[in-house]
Structure 1
Amino acid sequence: MVILVVDDHAIIRVGLEYYIGKILPEVKVIPCETFPAALEALTKYEVNVVVLDIVMPGAGNTQMVSRIRKIRPDARILIYSGLEENLYALPYIKAGADGFLSKNDPYTEFGVAIKTVLDRGKYISRKIQQLMLFKFSDQGSSSMENPLQTLSRIEQEVLKLLIEGKRMKDIAAMLNLKQTTISTHKKNIFDKFGVTNVSELISNLQDFKYLLLI
């Protein structure tokens, strides 16, 4: 059995390799520092589980899941990230990951997660289970909606450029659209986030430089 640990922090790779060896001594652990290195390893080894960080060199967005599946359709994928669980877990689960675990959780919880996905189950923390229940309830669905998930692809592009400080006419030129069209997208973005200017938008976003990961 082979587990691929993909993380750009050496201390995480070493720690996980040690812990996995302790709870699953029969498993071979292959550490990778970048996502391209992970893709290469997937072509060389019969990988059973991929433990994947989502912010590292070569990483992109939820499409990483499909790229892994293209090489190893049967591999289990456990996202192991320090990003906000309530923002990123559901998009990655929806994209096909088999679990999402926060790096803020203790290693004992990692043990539960890795064994769950190895047993062909889905690992979702209690926090995300509660979020899902609340999100899909009639009473709570509107209040828990993640505005990032409501943005169209062009709105995501406009949002990214707004945060980078680009002017409206520059955004229009970069996206090859009319300035009036960009103004409409900007208004839609502000409405979805409940803000009136870019400063408010930025202040409402946690880890905004990673927005397009989802």
Structure 2
Amino acid sequence: MIDILMVDDHTIFRSGLQRLLLDETDLRTTAEAGNGAEALELVRRRRFDVVLLDINMEGRNGLEVLASIRAAQPALPVLMLSMYAEEQYALVAIQAGARGYIAKDAEPAELVYAIRCVAAGGQYLSARAASQVSGQLGGRDDRPAHQRLTVREHQIMLMMLKGLSLTAIGNEMLISVKTVSTHRGNILDKLGVASTAELVLYAVRHGIIQ
């Protein structure tokens, strides 16, 4: 039996996903979490075979939570779920330590297959995402600038878009304010913007935030 921790800040989505998995005799949702803090508490005191983790959550986003899960339970497979298209976050998620990435609009059978795949020690990407990731790793990278940020830069960018100060970001990531400032400068340079206000406009244009 594959025991699943489901992490998503939308109760309705979690309920629908749990009902979907009831039809599978080898899968069961043994716990749910609505945010990163709840998820980490569960990971530290209970055993799971797979974590289904949403990227776009209030508070700490899924990539930040993924890093904490990797630190607490390095061998625990994490399958990232997202409303974002695969080309936007798949490579970032894999580089951050996820075992797989799947869009929320995927067919139910594909999600079930992906869960079984990562639980068995494999890695899951759709055929389209796998081709894109392969090309990106091979140097054929035509993604928008924000998709070429490093994992840490991407995490800091998302925190900046939430309005967190450099000090707050440093405290959250356990790095110095000077280091955060350096990353901020690199992010703005890579995206071709001159300020946090311009970064917000960039994020809206590219669908990073609504």
Q: TM-score, normalised by structure 1?
A: 0.70
- In structure 2, what is the equivalent of residue 111 of structure 1? 112
- In structure 2, what is the equivalent of residue 71 of structure 1? 72
Aligned residues: 186
How much has 1:4 moved relative to structure 2?
A: 0.2
Equivalent residues in 2 for 1:56-135 (5 A)?
Answer: 56-60=57-61, 62-135=63-136
- In structure 1, what is the equivalent of residue 39 of structure 2? 38
Specify the SS of the correspondent of 1:8. coil
1:104-139 per-residue CA deviation (whole Å, 9 max, x = no partner) reads: 11111101111111111000111211212332455x
1:159-189 per-residue CA deviation (whole Å, 9 max, x = no partner) reads: 947x97xxxxxxxxxx89xxxx99xx59x84
How much has 1:206 moved relative to structure 2?
A: 1.6
How much has 1:61 moved relative to structure 2?
A: 5.2
Question: Contact between 1:5 and 1:52, CA under 8 Å: does it hold in 2?
Answer: yes
Distance 1:136 1:16, change over 3 A: same
**Mean Cα deviation higher: 92-101 or 82-91:** 82-91
How much has 1:15 moved relative to structure 2?
A: 1.8
Distance 1:61 1:9, change over 3 A: closer
1:51-104 per-residue CA deviation (whole Å, 9 max, x = no partner) reads: 001222332352322211232222110011112321111111101000011001
Q: Where does structure 2 lack aligned partners over 5 or more consecutive residues?
A: 164-176
Which residue identity is paired with 1:91?
Answer: V
> Aligned equivalents of 1:75 and 1:67: distance in 2?
12
Specify the SS of the correspondent of 1:22. coil
Rg (Cα) greater in structure: 1
How much has 1:44 moved relative to structure 2?
A: 2.6
> Aligned equivalents of 1:195 and 1:67: distance in 2?
30
Specify the SS of the correspondent of 1:52. strand
Question: Contact between 1:89 and 1:100, CA under 8 Å: does it hold in 2?
Answer: yes
> Aligned equivalents of 2:119 and 2:75: distance in 1?
11
How much has 1:146 moved relative to structure 2?
A: 3.9
Q: CA RMSD in A?
A: 3.5
Q: TM-score, normalised by structure 2?
A: 0.71
- In structure 2, what is the equivalent of residue 149 of structure 1? 148
Identity of aligned residues (%): 25
Higher relative contact order (CA 8 A, sep 6+): 1
1:179-212 per-residue CA deviation (whole Å, 9 max, x = no partner) reads: xx99xx59x846x446899497456422246xxx
> Aligned equivalents of 2:36 and 2:8: distance in 1?
8
Distance 1:55 1:147, change over 3 A: closer
